[in-house]
């Protein structure tokens, strides 16, 4: 009988140990999942924060090459479109050169350039990084729109963080007939005539 009780206690002890180690394993698995989720969330938050950038070279009014996190990136400015200057099989459009020169001027003379992703797509179909550019603390896209050198365009949720601000600047430029808005019928929903 004593042997039976000892075996019973041994069996209970082993079962308890296995059960506890199983709980520990489940607990660890849950903790690992939480840690991974928090890490992913922090990375996403970090990606949407402005980061220092360096001007490398100019492309046109709404595209440039910046060094971001040590890597050269061709960057397409979110939420704006400037008239074309370098598009193959397309003539230089009115105010295209002005927009291109203004973008180059702002970036090449900036004391500080920062780049910011939005929460949607990070890269377009041409492999360009999508984001907002700040020149000495001012949103470059807003400067171009305010001066009548760009229109608000390519609005795709959820990349709309500064949309309201840009639409307000566009309305003001339109009301003052600045740049692209000075030519009746030139600006369309699909671009420029």
First to last CA, the chain: 100
| Options 76, 98, 102, 116, the catalytic residue | 76
67 is catalytic: no
Q: Are 132 and 76 in contact (CB under 8 A)?
A: no
Q: Active site residue: 84, 102, 116, 151, which one?
A: 84
CA–CA distance, 78 with 118 (Å, rounded to integer): 9
Nearest CA to 136 out of 38, 55, 22 is that of: 55
CA 73 to chain centre: 13
Question: Catalytic site residue 128?
Answer: yes
Candidates 47, 54, 67, 128; catalytic one: 128
Q: Can 76 be counted among the known catalytic residues?
A: yes
Q: Are 78 and 150 in contact (CB under 8 A)?
A: no
Here the tokens at position 37 are 């989720």
Residue 141: C-alpha distances to residues 15, 19, 144, 145, 152 (Å): 66, 60, 5, 6, 9
Q: Phi, psi (5° rounding) for residue 59?
A: -115, -65
Return the exposure string of 4-18: e unless at least 16 CB atoms fall within 10 Å of the residue's CB, then b.
eeeeeeeeeeeeeee
State the catalytic residues.
76, 84, 128
């Amino acid at each position: 009988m004593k042997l039976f009780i000892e075996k019973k206690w041994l069996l209970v002890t082993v079962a308890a140990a296995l059960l506890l180690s199983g709980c520990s394993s489940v607990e660890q698995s849950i903790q690992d999942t939480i840690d991974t989720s928090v890490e992913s969330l922090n990375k996403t938050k970090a990606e949407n924060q402005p980061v220092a950038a360096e001007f490398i070279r100019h492309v046109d009014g709404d595209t440039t090459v910046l060094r971001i996190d040590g890597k050269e990136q061709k960057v397409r400015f979110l939420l704006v479109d400037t008239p074309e200057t370098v598009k193959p099989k397309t003539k230089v459009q009115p105010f295209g050169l002005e927009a291109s020169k203004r973008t180059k001027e702002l970036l090449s003379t900036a004391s500080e350039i920062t780049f910011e992703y939005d929460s949607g797509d990070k890269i377009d179909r041409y492999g360009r990084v999508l984001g907002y550019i700040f020149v000495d603390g001012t949103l470059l896209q807003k400067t171009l729109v305010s001066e009548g050198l760009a229109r608000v365009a390519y609005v795709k949720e959820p990349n709309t963080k500064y949309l309201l601000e840009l639409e307000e600047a566009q309305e003001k430029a339109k009301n003052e007939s600045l740049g692209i808005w000075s030519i009746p019928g030139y600006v369309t929903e699909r671009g420029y005539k």
